[in-house]
Amino acid sequence: MDPQGRRERCIGMAWRSMIGSIVAEALRAVTGCARSGDAETCARRLIASADAIYAPLKPVDSGLGEARRVASLLAGIVANAFLAAAREREDSDSFLRGVLEVLERLKNEPSPEEAGELLAAAGAAAFQPAVSREARESIVSDVRSYVEPPQPQVPRRRRRQPRRPEPAQALRRALRELGRRDPILAKQISQLLRSQGLI
């Protein structure tokens, strides 16, 4: 391999390692909170995760939207990992409604201080938290779809209770989509989720 190719490969490995570390810290923060935290803290950690994930992607965002799409996919993975963990709570319904209320309030606010803490814990303190509306909306919409599942479009004689999305299925779907963009990163995130028993 020529020196330029070797250098690009090393940069790619370092970038994936950094993104993987940030996602690992975000997963640790939100799943821990989902099992025993309060709605306000968990919502702040979810928004912070989106901002921390986009931080190293913003400098390479060419304006074509690919970096924001990757950030949205990763934010969706964090949101569904949070939902999977929150289902274990006895008060999961009321708790998640509370989380959604706070998320709706925070989604247009500046980055919470927890975003910087996540970056520092992941060894990426050189980056400043960066707001991606798409990544934040990915989190809010996934939590909203779980708390308020949409009614089926097909008319039925009897109204059925709308089915909630299954977080594990959503995680696998997001991993497949990420795998089409970056198979190595997708495998890394998949191993993280398996190690936590989330898929």
Q: What ranges do the domains of the chain cover?
A: 16-148+163-195
- Model-level pTM? 0.89
Q: Which two tokens stand for residue 155?
A: 């008319």
Q: List pLDDT tens digits, range 7-52.
A: 445 445 677 889 999 999 999 999 999 999 999 999 999 999 999 9
Q: List pLDDT tens digits, range 84-108.
A: 999 989 999 999 999 999 999 999 9
Contact 123, 21 (CB under 8 A): yes
Contact 170, 142 (CB under 8 A): yes
Residues 6+ apart with CB under 8 A from 67: 54, 57, 58, 60, 61
Q: List pLDDT tens digits, range 107-139.
A: 999 999 999 999 999 999 999 999 999 999 999
Query: Alpha-carbon distance 113 to 106, whole Å?
Result: 13
Query: Alpha-carbon distance 56 to 125, whole Å?
Result: 10
